[in-house]
């Protein structure tokens, strides 16, 4: 099962899309940043004297101490800079490090409280340039079908975990997809005004279906959000798993992915997706637009409705203009000796795979025609 959209690299379009006009909406250039452990000094290895801290003596000592620890772990031979004065000695080493990769990680010069300059390796998790959009309409349909109540209860628990603990945003709360759906509605109204009902009855009928879908999306989203916000517990989660029949393919698949998500919740009980998003490690220019993680990881309405073609076309068009995508990052500090490389993406590997699987399963549950 594949996620919806390729969004970077050469950035081909999601799929052949129709009934869509170009996007005019833009993500914000800047957002409020969370508190992170480290502050970024430079990824372009500027001259050492230009770095924004005082106490060059302490910085020089810490730099060479961390360099020694890095060389010890990876067996890298640093260039001899004994004949160079400070800070040219450090600048020469940074220039060499700029082209090196260790365990697939690049080297950065970072600072922390009380520590002016330390080397660290920074490795980025590859999200495969996909949209991880989890559809909500299947949950609404389960809720309104009597024989699907066990599916609804389990899926609601999964959504509660993804919302509360993982931190995935919901499309009916202020954010990127909320704005995107507002933009879609405006475009649909503009298109509707351009057509004469007598000249193109099929097109006008399609617009009516889109307006009905928007109304249902708002009603269902506002109804389900309080239910998703309800607390969940692992014991109930395990009980709900046993209520899902395994005699049908959909039931087995939902139960399997729910079981794996339960294991993830037990292994990482408080881990959120934002915990390894270190936007401050990216040096953005004033005119730089970025794809933040909450732009490509979110709950949304449906991948099987009359809106999805326009939505994916809009998102794809916007993302092709972005210069940077925020992805999970693992940072290993070298202020102390390190026994082995530590760039652990077990959580991210499992989570993104399971989001992909869950999305595919929910799409199979999603009926083409909406249930009011």
In the chain, which ranges are E strands? 39-42, 106-112, 115-124, 132-135, 290-291, 297-300, 324-325, 329-333
Which of 2-11, 32-41, 271-280 has the largest mean confidence?
Answer: 271-280
Same domain, 154 and 272: yes
What does the pLDDT look like over 85-103, one tens digit per residue? 888 899 899 999 999 999 9
From 255, 260, 257, 253, select the one nearest 242 (Cα to Cα): 255
Q: What pLDDT is attached to residue 197?
A: 64
Q: Please check whether residue 105 is in contact with residue 332, taking contact to mean a CB–CB distance below 8 angstroms.
A: yes
Place of tokens 């990824």: 43
Domain-ending residue, one of 65, 94, 124: 124
Same domain, 171 and 216: yes
Q: What pLDDT is attached to residue 128?
A: 87
Does the pLDDT at position 57 exceed 90?
no
Domain-ending residue, one of 124, 143, 161: 124
Give the residue with greater pLDDT, 12 vs 236: 236
In a domain, 20, yes or no: no
In a domain, 180, yes or no: yes
Average pLDDT, the chain: 83
Same domain, 172 and 320: yes
What does the pLDDT look like over 246-285, one tens digit per residue? 888 999 999 999 999 999 999 999 999 999 998 778 765 5
Same domain, 120 and 143: no
In a domain, 319, yes or no: yes
In a domain, 152, yes or no: yes
Q: How many structural domains are present in the chain? A: 2
- Buried-exposed string 222-240: b where 16+ CB fall within 10 A, e elsewhere: eebbeebeeebeeeebeeb
- Provide mean pLDDT across the span 292-298: 96
Sheet containing strand 39-42, strands side by side: 39-42, 106-112, 115-124, 329-333
Same domain, 204 and 259: yes
Q: How confident is the model at residue 43 (pLDDT cuts 50, 70, 90)?
A: very low
Query: Structure tokens of 16?
Result: 């052949």
Same domain, 173 and 310: yes
Query: Structure tokens of 235?
Result: 């014991």
Same domain, 110 and 143: no
| Beta-ladder partners of 42 | 109
In a domain, 26, yes or no: no
**CA–CA separation, 321 vs 184, rounded Å?**
19
Cα dist from 45 to 35, 183, 325, 363, whole Å: 24, 41, 21, 47
Pairing of strands 39-42, 106-112: antiparallel
Q: Please check whether residue 159 is in contact with residue 220, taking contact to mean a CB–CB distance below 8 angstroms.
A: no
- Provide mean pLDDT across the span 8-20: 28
What does the pLDDT look like over 129-184, one tens digit per residue? 899 999 999 999 999 999 999 999 999 999 999 999 999 999 999 999 999 999 99
Same domain, 305 and 356: yes
Same domain, 111 and 146: no
**CA–CA separation, 25 vs 184, rounded Å?**
10
In a domain, 3, yes or no: no
Structural domain that includes position 271: 132-276+284-328+345-365
Same domain, 222 and 304: yes
**CA–CA separation, 293 vs 327, rounded Å?**
7
Pairing of strands 115-124, 290-291: unpaired
Q: Please check whether residue 264 is in contact with residue 358, taking contact to mean a CB–CB distance below 8 angstroms.
A: no
Residue 41 in 3-state DSSP? strand
| Per-position DSSP letters for 310-332, written without gaps between them | HHHHHHHHHHTT-SEE--BEEEE
Same domain, 82 and 166: no
Q: Any idea how long the chain is? A: 372
Place of tokens 């020089």: 60
Report the run of H or E that residue 258 belongs to, with start and end. helix 249-267
Same domain, 141 and 112: no
Cβ-based neighbours of 355, under 8 Å, separated by 6 or more: 3, 132, 134, 162, 297
In a domain, 187, yes or no: yes
In a domain, 19, yes or no: no
Domain-ending residue, one of 72, 106, 124: 124
In 101-235, which ranges are E strands? 106-112, 115-124, 132-135
């Amino acid at each position: 099962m594949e996620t919806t959209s390729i969004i970077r690299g050469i950035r081909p379009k999601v799929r052949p899309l129709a009934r869509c006009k170009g996007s005019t909406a833009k993500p914000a250039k800047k957002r409020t940043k969370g508190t992170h452990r480290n502050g970024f000094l430079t990824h372009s290895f500027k001259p050492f004297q230009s770095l924004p801290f005082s106490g060059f003596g302490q910085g020089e000592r810490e730099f060479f101490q961390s360099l020694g620890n890095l060389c010890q772990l990876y067996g890298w031979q640093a260039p001899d800079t004994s004949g160079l004065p400070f800070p040219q000695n450090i600048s020469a080493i940074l220039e060499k490090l700029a082209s090196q990769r260790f365990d697939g990680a690049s080297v950065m010069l970072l600072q922390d409280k009380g520590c002016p300059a330390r080397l660290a390796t920074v490795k980025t998790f590859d999200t495969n340039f996909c949209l991880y959009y989890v559809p909500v309409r299947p949950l609404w349909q389960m809720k309104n079908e009597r024989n699907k109540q066990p599916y609804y209860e389990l899926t609601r628990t999964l959504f509660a975990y993804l919302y509360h603990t993982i931190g995935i945003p919901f499309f009916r709360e202020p954010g990127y997809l909320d704005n995107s759906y507002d933009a879609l509605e405006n475009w649909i109204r503009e298109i509707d005004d351009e057509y004469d009902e007598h000249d193109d009855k099929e097109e006008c009928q399609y617009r009516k279906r889109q307006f009905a879908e928007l109304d249902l999306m708002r009603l269902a989203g506002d109804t389900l959000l309080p239910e998703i916000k309800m607390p969940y517990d692992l014991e109930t989660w395990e009980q709900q798993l046993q209520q899902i029949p395994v005699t049908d393919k959909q039931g087995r698949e939902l139960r399997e992915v729910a079981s794996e998500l339960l294991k993830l919740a037990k292994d990482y009980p408080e881990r959120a997706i934002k915990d390894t998003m270190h936007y401050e490690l990216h040096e953005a220019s004033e005119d730089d637009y970025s794809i933040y993680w909450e732009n490509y990881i979110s709950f949304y309405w449906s991948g099987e409705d009359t809106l999805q073609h326009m939505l994916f076309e809009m998102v794809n068009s916007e993302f092709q203009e972005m210069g940077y995508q925020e992805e999970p990052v693992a940072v290993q500090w070298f202020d102390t000796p390190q026994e082995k490389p530590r760039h652990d993406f077990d959580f991210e590997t499992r989570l993104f795979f399971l989001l992909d699987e869950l999305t595919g399963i929910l799409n199979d549950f999603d009926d083409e025609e909406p249930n009011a």
